[in-house]
Chain A
Amino acid sequence: MTDDYLIEKEKGGTRMCLAVSGKVLKIEGNKGIVEIGNMKREVFMHLVPDVCVDEYVLVHAGCAIETIDEEEAKITLDIFKELLYNEVRL
Chain B
Amino acid sequence: MKFAYEFRNAEYAKKLVEKLNNISSDKINIMEVCGTHTMAIFKYGIRDVLPSNINLISGPGCPVCVTPQSYIDAVLTLCTKEDIITATFGDMMRVPGKKGSLSKKKEEGFDVRIVYSPMDCLTMALQNPSKKIVFLSVGFETTAPMTSLTVIEAKKSNIKNLFFATANKIVPPVMEALVKDKELRIDAFLLPGHVCAIIGTKPYDFLSEDYNTPGVVTGFEPLDILQGLNTLVNLISKKDYRIMNEYKRVVKTVGNPYALEYLNKTFNIVDSNWRGIGRICGSGMEFNGKYEYFDALKHFEIEYEDYDGSPGCRCGEILKGKIKPSDCPLFKKLCSPENPVGSCMVSSEGTCAAYYRYHKDNI
Contact = CB atoms under 8 A, between A and B. Distances in A.
A, B assembled together: yes
Nearest to A44: B119
Contacts of B118: 61-62
Contacts of A66: 197, 250-251, 256
Interface of A is mostly: mixed
A65 B144 CA distance: 11
Contact of A13 (B4, B12, B93): B93
Most buried by B among A12, A18, A47, A79: A47
Q: Interface size class for chain B?
A: 35 or more
Most buried by A among B16, B62, B198, B258: B258
A42 to B, nearest CB: 10
B256 A47 contact: yes
B294 to A, nearest CB: 18
B12 A63 contact: no
Contacts of A87: 15
A40 interface: no
Contact of A80 (B16, B143, B251, B347): B16
A15 B143 CA distance: 10
B172 to A, nearest CB: 15
B42 interface: no
Interface residues of A, number: 40
B253 to A, nearest CB: 12
Interface string A38-55: 000000101111000000
A80 B10 CA distance: 11
Contact of B119 (A13, A18, A63): A63
Interface string A63-80: 101101110111111011
A16 B89 contact: yes
Contact of A16 (B15, B142, B198, B259): B142
A44 B117 contact: yes
A65 to B, nearest CB: 6
A84 B12 contact: yes
Nearest to B11: A84
Given A63-B119, A83-B19, A16 B3 contact: no
Interface in A1-34: 1-2, 11-19, 21
B150 to A, nearest CB: 9
Interface string B243-276: 0001011110000101100100000000000000
A13 B89 contact: yes
Most buried by A among B114, B142, B192: B142
Contacts of B251: 66
B9 interface: yes
Q: What 7 A-B pairs come out closest when comparing CB atoms?
A: A13-B90, A62-B117, A73-B249, A80-B12, A1-B4, A72-B248, A72-B249
6 contacts: A13-B114, A16-B63, A16-B140, A16-B142, A44-B146, A83-B15
Given A16-B143, A47-B256, 4 more contacts: A17-B143, A62-B117, A73-B1, A75-B248
Interface of A: 1-2, 11-19, 21, 44, 46-49, 56, 58, 60-63, 65-66, 68-70, 72-77, 79-81, 83-84, 87
